[in-house]
Amino acid sequence: MKLLHVRVDGFGALQGEWTFAPERVNVILDDNERGKSSLFAAIAAALYGLDADRRSHRVVTPLERWRPWNGGPSTACTRSRATSTAAWSPCSIAAAAR
C-alpha cells in the first residue's frame, strides 16, 4: 500500500493535510514539538482505530490522549493506493475493536 494523502482535523492539536509522492521515499523532518509523532499516530488511528481499553497500566488511553484540543470531533482520513486505484479511508477515529 502506498500512502498518498492524509487529512486530519482534531487529532490532539494536529490539524491539516499532507500529500506524499508515491514514486519517492518521503521523509518527515521538522523541529521538536511540530507534530511528527502526532501525524504518525493519526495515520495509525485512521487505519486501525484507537485503543479505549482501561485494563492496562496506562493512566490515559490513546483515545483520551488524542482527544481534540478544539473540542470538536476527531477525524483522520488517509488516501492510499494498493493497486492502480486510490481510495479514501473513512474519516473518523473509532475505538479499536477488542
Which positions ≥6 away from 2 have C-beta within 8 Å? Answer: 20, 22, 80, 81, 82
Cell match 500512502: residue? 3
Residue 81 near residue 2, CB atoms below 8 Å = yes
Q: What is the dihedral of CA 7, 9, 11, 17, to 10 degrees?
A: 30
Query: Can you give the pLDDT at residue 46?
Result: 84
Q: Grid coordinates in use for 71? A: 473540542
* Domain span at 39: 2-88
pTM for this model (two decimals): 0.71
Residue 49 counted as domain residue: yes
Query: Residue 12 pLDDT more than 70?
Result: yes
Number of domains in the chain: 1
Which positions ≥6 away from 64 have C-beta within 8 Å? Answer: 52
Which of 20-24, 74-78, 87-91 has the highest average model confidence (pLDDT)?
A: 20-24
Residue 84 counted as domain residue: yes
Which pLDDT band holds residue 31 (cuts at 50, 70, 90)?
very high
Which pLDDT band holds residue 98 (cuts at 50, 70, 90)?
very low
Q: Grid coordinates in use for 40? A: 504518525
